[in-house]
Structure 1
């Protein structure tokens, strides 16, 4: 087994709970060895022997923690710390695997195991998915935490919007406390014991997904936590296929949802200096789909992520063993099949393209987008997603949706709640016409000066979230007065306006019924302006007294949002900048990334002309013309990209990791590393047709394309590396 992976930055990695296996050795920069079981040191050693940088990943809210639950750790059972719903049911991730209330004792338990990973040489720790279900908040441990945090007896979260909001704020604060304690304590342990620094990261779903699935997590709070070095954005088909409503139609919109999810995660760390990896998953936790379904949705998530160029690090796969050794339903549903060979090659191609992405910046095009449009989203959106059962109302069952079951199994009322239409009613009308809307992390406005500088127009509503500090309004007000245009949409109907917060404190000098009253007053408009358009300094406010959820239900609602953005740019004197498009696309160096939008009046295709290598096909064909149909995704390598013309001989793209590349007058050689039993595709630029191609001690097959001056090689992959030589 090779030990030849050179020292380098950690551009790509993956997580795996199983011991080292050559069939799922992806040859990335690092591996996150998953779980803190007794065989952790042996698993770490196996991956280290394969040449990897070693990270540890473990669940911070759930895991195989039965020794803690049943008292074998400290002599006391801890089932009272399992999250519980109002019916007395534990919220489980599996048998004897509950979601935990993150008590001090639980944090100390996790610390004892993390020490073992540090002792075994782990360079970084990933504490994944700090998740507190909105349906929970009824266990004895949570009741104790409520008393300590609020100084009063626990109140059932479902008894009022205020109780639900306060319970959720406590849930986020508890996971912040646990992570802050673990990161600080373990960093000190590593320095004192070994004299080395260990890094801490939080792999987490997006704020959009957690809010939609009704889960509370610290999210934006962690950006200001000293011990947190960054995040992994856990976005994949399982989160992005969650249905939403646009123009009255509820359906899966994997690309659009993923685009918004990756967008809010890019915004979470933009300008903060924290690291961010974007995750992709070729399959998902739900094993009921076919390979063709997984393939289509994987393409959508990859393309959606690449449209956010400020992130250049990737977790290329969670659980590669289940991808390359697992079996999934056939198209006819009568059996199961392992991954098709050509699709395995495509996956490795994409994974190696992701490793190359940091070498290339976004290339400005002639067809500029309607850029600088943002939609504000705050942590507090998670705080108002729990059930509220008013006195006299019939109490139904608390719903828990995590993407592994079908949304169709939910009741009509539960589906409507899962839709989270108040957010999507503002977002989808713009994304669906090719406007690259960016979700804006509202919580960062106060923390990072200049955070809003590159935005021209902001959409804001407090009907699905609340501002957690009045200073946010001062920052927005300054931005508007300096030329920004604020579009506020809300009718004041959200019951969470009544929660006990800064805007309605009884002992405050000024008390407001709703937080937008303070916003409008800060802008000089009085507390309750009429619906309309208002000049504020060099900028303006457009106020629409509409419930944003209602806008998701009709074409008229979507048109209102688009016309508001168009009018905003007109006010700025930039009407020419408003441009709708049939696609969202970007160039990053030689890579051309495109999604063609659907659900338009005419399902238009687009045709790209040039000379391209199609990276979503196993044989990497050279194409002069690429047609991309409505709803489809494309990832191309542009052979005419100017930087590609330097030098007659070069490796352009490969489904393997390339090292020891050497070029001579009539020969190029290299070592190619990839998982075992994968057919590798490598396309090279060469001065003439090869006379000899070998891979190891065998003659390799190749196809020469004289017009492009490239050759495609196909040969078997091995993790240790196979020596390839091309002569002409």
Structure 2
């Protein structure tokens, strides 16, 4: 009998794939055997929030490797379980005074004896010697330096004052006393972590080469959207150009994306829309540089909520990440020990329970789909050529407030994006730090720019914008230029430049008058539209975005195009369909996805002739037409990692592994009804499924049985 190869190839137990990952501070446990490609072991001393730190680092690494995982390493770069450093065990000096400090003298803490740190040279040396060397000595070649964060409200410690004097060559100035001082303070915070990441990543690669190892260094970081919203300063986009950095993890999840935003005068959570913009800012940060990026989602979040709340928001962030078809690497979850072994609330009750099996099954179907998720050249629905310029300086103006100029809930950013996204336009973000890369503006037809909540990092930004506009780009500039940061001491008013506002330099470079009013202006093959309102004005009150939207429509008409608006975004990547229907949009119409499709958000994996998606909902579907084309056995969806997949003319078999105490739900396409099915555990004992059924219409078989990290073997006789 001839063995027929399948698209789902047999994978060795010890694989070298790095498509999916999760981070954990625990040793291997059967309850958290997630079966992604990579287990990112956290911290040489664990995670600051751990209560059980009995397992040593090397033991934890070994435990995951023995189970077939590729072991990587992650640690905080702004905080961590570094008590040996903070309390003086490492060098005999107490370093607790190096924490980030607020104006009232309080240290900003991440945990007990774990401050958010001002990264001075002693800390950098500690990271090199006590962390990086130990990790590489353990044979790990992928290192993740997590969350380079400096709180905007910090900047008052003696350590920071020392760094100020060294960097600026004049005495420290309290940031709350003027916009100028705030700007200087935040630029220094940015520099300190840029320097730290540069030095530590270079050292990791150098030390690895001494050991004959090719070490990769990644930065797990919140999006620029979130850090700006939460008033945190980080190097963000600039790190992508460092020689020691190989990529990022986009730390986007319910906790970041549920931050309330204003739209149409209403402040509320808009998790899907916010997540879409967060993931987009991470793509714009990395794609032009060619660096690798993992997208993160989390089935729960840091705040104590109900399982129902977690599920609803997880679906929203999960759908948002899949609407970026160029990304197909994922951190499928952080902290599986938190997800699987800790109780959380049941909605509308006082009860706390471990993760309900219906939710763990759904979640595992979703994360195992990520193991198969292809990149795609398909574009998400709607006009893909509209971008919004953003830059690191968005983080510099968030705290404190000066001269009564306020930007509530980061509304100057959302005022440029939500009015379009809510109308079915998958608005992109463009990092000014990457404008020197041709890829940054290659597909952008209309670029929205405002200096109300950020400032251009250099004159080169304007040089690149001038070139793009003169070659046919349409620039829409919106802003009153009245915020107190317009006149900080910067390049546009220094070294021979005497512009009062950075936009004056941009307009002059474009050959226009420096102080333009509302209007449309021809520049080379392109055009500039001016709208003299701060973007926050479009969303802080009801029905105030009409002029902005009409300006974008007019901009497109100048290209001979017409914008159309809908209430949804959709995308097909391979057999997977992703749909998000938004509320507060141009209509309340339902979206009808034609089948036959399998609903991957439903743990029962039903086959539907049509899926209806209502406003405020998302859908994740498997298109069965894709498997009908090949007419070969295919695992469509499973709440376990399938391996050793083989089929012959009259049989089909595979092995499933997933955490214990969870239920597997599988739907499999078969060319014909099976004659028999046998399930065996790792002891070769036959087990009885909880449910099984053949659906003749779709030619799919459904199975439901208890998962095992040791593996369940499934045999179909055809």
Q: CA RMSD in A?
A: 1.6
Q: Does 1:165 align with 2:149?
A: no
Q: Does 1:510 align with 2:497?
A: yes
Aligned mates of 2:13, 2:248 — CA distance in 1: 24
Are the equivalent residues in 2 in contact too, given 1:16–1:318 (CA < 8 A)?
yes
- Cα deviation code 1:216-275 (max 9, x no counterpart): 000011011100110000000000000010011000000000000000101111131211
Are the equivalent residues in 2 in contact too, given 1:147–1:153 (CA < 8 A)?
yes
Aligned mates of 2:419, 2:154 — CA distance in 1: 34
Q: Does 1:16 align with 2:24?
A: yes
Report the counterpart of residue 497 of structure 1 in structure 2: 486
| Unaligned stretches of 5+ residues in structure 1 | 394-412
Which secondary structure state, in structure 1, belongs to the residue aligned with residue 372 of structure 2? helix
Report the counterpart of residue 279 of structure 2 in structure 1: 262
Are the equivalent residues in 2 in contact too, given 1:23–1:675 (CA < 8 A)?
yes
Which secondary structure state, in structure 1, belongs to the residue aligned with residue 294 of structure 2? strand
Which of 114, 118, 124 aligns to 1:107? It is 124
How much has 1:644 moved relative to structure 2?
4.5
Q: Does 1:585 align with 2:570?
A: yes
Aligned mates of 2:603, 2:127 — CA distance in 1: 43
Report the counterpart of residue 440 of structure 2 in structure 1: 451
In the TM superposition, 1:49-448 aligns within 5 A as 49-111=66-128, 112-192=130-210, 194-287=211-304, 289-358=305-374, 360-363=375-378, 369-388=382-401, 419-446=409-436, 448=437
* Structure 1 stretch displaced more, 591-600 or 545-554: 545-554
Are the equivalent residues in 2 in contact too, given 1:590–1:639 (CA < 8 A)?
yes
Q: Does 1:673 align with 2:663?
A: no
Are the equivalent residues in 2 in contact too, given 1:651–1:684 (CA < 8 A)?
yes
Are the equivalent residues in 2 in contact too, given 1:459–1:489 (CA < 8 A)?
yes
* Structure 1 stretch displaced more, 645-654 or 164-173: 645-654
| Unaligned stretches of 5+ residues in structure 2 | 1-10, 46-54, 681-685
Report the counterpart of residue 463 of structure 1 in structure 2: 452
How much has 1:362 moved relative to structure 2?
4.2
Change in Cα spacing, 1:510 to 1:177, as seen in structure 2 (3 Å) is closer
How much has 1:364 moved relative to structure 2?
6.0
Are the equivalent residues in 2 in contact too, given 1:480–1:538 (CA < 8 A)?
yes
Report the counterpart of residue 609 of structure 1 in structure 2: 594
- Cα deviation code 1:180-222 (max 9, x no counterpart): 1111112211221x21111111100000000000000000110
Aligned mates of 1:310, 1:664 — CA distance in 2: 34
Report the counterpart of residue 3 of structure 2 in structure 1: none
Report the counterpart of residue 641 of structure 2 in structure 1: 657
How much has 1:72 moved relative to structure 2?
1.2
How much has 1:450 moved relative to structure 2?
4.2
Are the equivalent residues in 2 in contact too, given 1:689–1:706 (CA < 8 A)?
yes
* Structure 1 stretch displaced more, 180-189 or 713-722: 713-722
Are the equivalent residues in 1 in contact too, given 2:613–2:619 (CA < 8 A)?
yes
Report the counterpart of residue 402 of structure 1 in structure 2: none
How much has 1:388 moved relative to structure 2?
4.7
Are the equivalent residues in 1 in contact too, given 2:640–2:664 (CA < 8 A)?
yes
Change in Cα spacing, 1:57 to 1:142, as seen in structure 2 (3 Å) is same
Moved >3 Å (runs of 4+): 362-365
- Cα deviation code 1:644-664 (max 9, x no counterpart): 521332222222211111112
Report the counterpart of residue 471 of structure 2 in structure 1: 482
How much has 1:604 moved relative to structure 2?
2.4
Are the equivalent residues in 2 in contact too, given 1:160–1:388 (CA < 8 A)?
no
How much has 1:179 moved relative to structure 2?
1.0
Which of 40, 64, 68 aligns to 1:47? It is 64
How much has 1:418 moved relative to structure 2?
5.2
Aligned mates of 1:450, 1:107 — CA distance in 2: 34
Aligned mates of 1:440, 1:220 — CA distance in 2: 11
Aligned mates of 1:303, 1:486 — CA distance in 2: 30
Report the counterpart of residue 572 of structure 1 in structure 2: 559
How much has 1:725 moved relative to structure 2?
0.4
Are the equivalent residues in 2 in contact too, given 1:370–1:580 (CA < 8 A)?
no
Aligned mates of 2:212, 2:454 — CA distance in 1: 44
Report the counterpart of residue 406 of structure 1 in structure 2: none
How much has 1:4 moved relative to structure 2?
4.8
Aligned mates of 1:160, 1:381 — CA distance in 2: 17
Are the equivalent residues in 2 in contact too, given 1:236–1:301 (CA < 8 A)?
yes
Aligned mates of 1:65, 1:495 — CA distance in 2: 39
- Cα deviation code 1:520-568 (max 9, x no counterpart): 1111112112221111111100001112111112344322221111101
Q: Does 1:724 align with 2:709?
A: no
Which secondary structure state, in structure 2, belongs to the residue aligned with residue 513 of structure 1? coil
Which of 546, 564, 574 aligns to 1:559? It is 546
Aligned mates of 2:402, 2:408 — CA distance in 1: 17
Aligned mates of 1:5, 1:241 — CA distance in 2: 38
How much has 1:325 moved relative to structure 2?
1.3
How much has 1:36 moved relative to structure 2?
1.5
Are the equivalent residues in 2 in contact too, given 1:157–1:388 (CA < 8 A)?
no
Count of residues in correspondence between the two structures: 692
Aligned mates of 2:207, 2:632 — CA distance in 1: 53
- Cα deviation code 1:581-636 (max 9, x no counterpart): 12111000110000001013643221222200000011110000111111001000
- Cα deviation code 1:40-84 (max 9, x no counterpart): 111111111111111111111011222211111101111221000
In the TM superposition, 1:679-694 aligns within 5 A as 679-694=663-678
- Cα deviation code 1:475-534 (max 9, x no counterpart): 1111111111100001011100111100011xx333100000001111111211222111
Are the equivalent residues in 2 in contact too, given 1:373–1:437 (CA < 8 A)?
yes
How much has 1:141 moved relative to structure 2?
0.6
Report the counterpart of residue 694 of structure 2 in structure 1: 704
Q: Does 1:31 align with 2:39?
A: yes
Aligned mates of 2:369, 2:294 — CA distance in 1: 15
Aligned mates of 1:671, 1:610 — CA distance in 2: 29
TM-score by length of 1: 0.93
Are the equivalent residues in 1 in contact too, given 2:15–2:68 (CA < 8 A)?
no
Which secondary structure state, in structure 2, belongs to the residue aligned with residue 384 of structure 1? coil
Change in Cα spacing, 1:235 to 1:450, as seen in structure 2 (3 Å) is closer
Which secondary structure state, in structure 2, belongs to the residue aligned with residue 420 of structure 1? helix
Aligned mates of 1:159, 1:500 — CA distance in 2: 15
Are the equivalent residues in 1 in contact too, given 2:407–2:536 (CA < 8 A)?
no
Aligned mates of 1:43, 1:418 — CA distance in 2: 44
Aligned mates of 1:533, 1:726 — CA distance in 2: 67
